[in-house]
């Protein structure tokens, strides 16, 4: 794997790049004319499965801005920090969500995956902000109003500062606190949600732990956490991506189970799933450790997905090559993305097949994308990813969505605003949204409803 050039990442997109190693305003959107599916027809050869979801994914923290009661806000502003810049206003989607939905709908999408921020809803332990619950209910109503089916993520890496200060997911009663939040929110939102997931990439800590160079990275992360602990007078301070997985993983699994039950109790007919970071793992040479690394990456989350999920969300971005020594670097000359990992859109098909044979639940592609400033490369990536998905459908595997990460160029955690995954560029001062050709391209495919 290539070494990072800037920052150390909390997200899977940063981590797989080695960062753990050491999106036009709605009124300006011009979708393809009715019946104009030329771009889609170049890459699509069959109708999408029935009720297929086309859309994009984004997190609350990375797009809303000014989430001052979250753990990540402190981490950005503490010294030492792993973040190369601060999130600040981000894309101001907290106020401009209607504009974002209008863009997505006019492009041709029928689905929008986004998060709700626990730190806004429960800014202090046991204190619930009805204003924030009402805010997110209005967001869901607006999403529906624009013809987009909302896929809600209850946790996308960040937690309230008070929760991190008391030990995060390394404390025995953490599952009850998380489930309490999920149940409260689900009761408030009622039937506005189309699908829900508890954790985004619940196995993120296991990904951190298997990366080459983890031992070199760990001291920098620990220094940041110690600074946060000192600033909050919280010696047990723990943030999700940098917790001890031996302690936190079983507690997060119990948190998922309890949250699943709490959401289902509030909305029995709502499909509630689990998303995992699902990179393709490929064996190289004799005595490859590929099977061992799959076990390390997924662990008991496979069992949890089988027993406490109505669907599995796969989120492929690249592949890991594994020989008899572990994960190895791609061969010289391999094409790389701007995030520093291998350009490999075929990972979509690889992980769909893995999930189908290993978990056996309905499969949604809840994230897939590329960091690049070359929008032609983004279009090629999308086409290749969809071709890989199409092969799986032709093999008889039920796949229910393709959600691109992301609609907007947003805050990419410790990499700040330097990595551009979005279909839509965002001016960080005026917040003007400007469509890229890839937005119209994928929107045309969605309008044609062909994979």
Residue of 1, 126, 16 lying closest to 371 (CA atoms): 16
Instruction: Take residue 406 and report the two structure tokens written for it.
Output: 């992301």
- CA nearest neighbour of 206 among 281, 260, 151, 259: 281
Band (27; pLDDT cuts 50, 70, 90) = very low
- What predicted TM-score, i.e. pTM, was given to this entire model? 0.92
Is the CATH code 3.20.20.80 the one for domain 12-448? yes
List, in order, residues 6 or more apart from 259 with CB less than 8 Å away.
154, 175, 178, 179, 182, 183, 198
Per residue in 315-336, pLDDT (tens digit) is 999 999 999 999 999 999 999 9
Contact yes or no for 265/183 (Cβ under 8 A):
yes
Q: Tokens for 89?
A: 């206003």
**What would the two tokens of residue 438 be?**
């890839």
- Omega within 30 of 0 (cis) for the link into 421: no
CA distance linking residue 196 with residue 154, whole number of Å: 7
pLDDT at 277: 98
Bridge-partner residues for 322, per DSSP? 283, 327
Exposed (0-12), middle (13-18) or buried (19+): which is 215, by Cβ within 10 Å?
A: exposed
User: Is pLDDT of 33 > 70?
Assistant: no
Please report the pLDDT score of residue 94 as a whole number: 98
Question: In the structure, what pLDDT confidence band is assigned to residue 24 with cuts at 50, 70 and 90?
Answer: very low
Residue 142 backbone phi and psi in degrees, to 5: -65, -40
CA dihedral of 179, 155, 149, 24, whole degrees rounded to 10: 160
CA dist 97 → 24, 39, 138, 140 (Å):
13, 28, 10, 10
Residue 97, pLDDT above cutoff 60: yes
């Amino acid at each position: 794997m290539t070494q990072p050039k800037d920052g150390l990442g909390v997200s899977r997109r940063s981590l797989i790049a080695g960062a753990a190693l050491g999106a036009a305003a709605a009124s300006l959107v011009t979708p393809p004319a009715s019946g104009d599916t030329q771009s889609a027809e170049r890459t699509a050869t069959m109708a999408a499965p029935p009720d297929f979801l086309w859309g994009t994914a984004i997190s609350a923290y990375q797009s809303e801005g000014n989430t001052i009661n979250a753990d990540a806000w402190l981490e950005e502003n503490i010294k030492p920090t792993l973040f190369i810049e601060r999130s600040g206003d981000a894309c101001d989607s907290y106020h401009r969500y209607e504009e974002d939905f209008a863009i997505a709908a006019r492009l041709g999408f029928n689905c929008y995956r986004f998060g709700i921020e626990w730190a806004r809803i429960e800014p202090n332990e046991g204190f619930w902000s009805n204003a924030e619950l009402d805010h997110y209910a209005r967001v869901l109503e607006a999403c529906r109003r624009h013809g987009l089916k909302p896929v809600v993520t209850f946790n996308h890496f960040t937690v309230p500062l008070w929760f991190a200060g008391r030990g995060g997911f390394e404390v025995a009663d953490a599952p009850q606190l998380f489930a309490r939040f999920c149940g409260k929110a689900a009761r408030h939102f009622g039937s506005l949600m189309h699908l829900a997931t508890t954790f985004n990439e619940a196995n993120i800590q296991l990904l951190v732990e298997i990366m080459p160079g983890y031992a070199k990275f760990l001291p920098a992360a620990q220094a940041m956490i110690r600074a946060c602990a000192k600033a909050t007078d919280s010696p047990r301070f723990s943030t999700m991506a940098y917790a001890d997985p031996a302690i936190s993983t079983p507690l997060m699994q119990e948190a998922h189970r309890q949250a699943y039950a709490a959401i289902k109790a509030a909305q029995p007919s709502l499909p509630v799933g689990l998303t995992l970071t699902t990179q393709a793992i490929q064996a190289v040479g004799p005595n490859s450790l590929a099977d061992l690394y799959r076990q390390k990456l997924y662990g008991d989350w496979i069992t949890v997905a089988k027993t406490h999920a109505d669907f599995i969300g796969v989120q492929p971005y690249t592949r890991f090559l594994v020989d008899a020594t572990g994960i190895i670097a791609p061969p010289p000359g391999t094409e790389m993305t701007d995030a520093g990992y291998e350009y490999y859109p075929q990972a979509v098909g690889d992980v769909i097949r893995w999930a189908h044979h290993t978990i056996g639940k309905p499969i949604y592609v809840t994230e897939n994308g590329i960091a690049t400033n070359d929008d032609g490369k983004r279009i090629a990536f999308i086409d290749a990813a969809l071709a890989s998905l199409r092969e799986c459908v032709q093999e008889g595997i039920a796949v229910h969505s393709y959600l691109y990460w992301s609609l907007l160029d947003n805050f990419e955690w410790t990499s700040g605003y330097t990595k551009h995954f979005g279909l839509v560029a965002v001016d960080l001062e005026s917040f003007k949204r400007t469509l890229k050709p890839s937005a119209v391209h994928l929107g045309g495919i969605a309008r044609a409803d062909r994979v």
